[in-house]
Amino acid sequence: MNILDMIGGALGGVGAGGSTNYGQLFEVVQSMGGLDAVMDQLRAGGLNDQIGSWIAQGANQAITPDRVRAILGDGMIGRAAQQMGLSPERIAEIIAQQLPAVIDMMTPDGSAPGGGFGSILGQVLGGGR
């Protein structure tokens, strides 16, 4: 199974092994301008070390929903919450809980994709497996 199949399976729902459905995360980040935009904001907010751990092989450093809200801001979080019909707290939780695992899945060799994370997401969502 290649990386696009793994991400596509995660987007599709809970797998046989009880894997997480990341579809809601992708809806959230799309409502915020896309995965690369969210990653850029998190980097600018000082999460370079955490993001580096998600990309690198090994353990992923955690982030808290409060830190996500502080970095992305109430405007960005609030717009996503309104578009999705969720609370701002839930939006921050989704990002904090699921984004590290998704980035980890997208970088199995320990390096960031040359075309950005959105390029991999576009291939998955566009059916370019």
Percent of the chain with pLDDT over 90: 35
What is the pLDDT averaged over residues 74-91? 90
Cα–Cα distance between 108 and 87 in angstroms, integer?
Answer: 32
Cα–Cα distance between 121 and 125 in angstroms, integer?
Answer: 6
The answer, yes or no, to whether residue 48 has pLDDT greater than 50, is yes
User: Residue length, the chain?
Assistant: 129
Question: Which pTM does this prediction carry?
Answer: 0.75
pLDDT grade for 20, boundaries at 50, 70 and 90: low
Compute CA distances 79 → 34, 70, 75, 89, whole Å. 13, 15, 6, 12
pLDDT digits (tens, 9 = 90+) for 104-128: 888 888 887 776 776 666 555 544 4
Q: Contact 124/35 with Cβ under 8 angstroms? A: no
Mean model confidence pLDDT for the chain: 78
Q: Contact 19/10 with Cβ under 8 angstroms? A: yes
What is the pLDDT averaged over residues 85-109? 89
The answer, yes or no, to whether residue 63 has pLDDT greater than 90, is yes
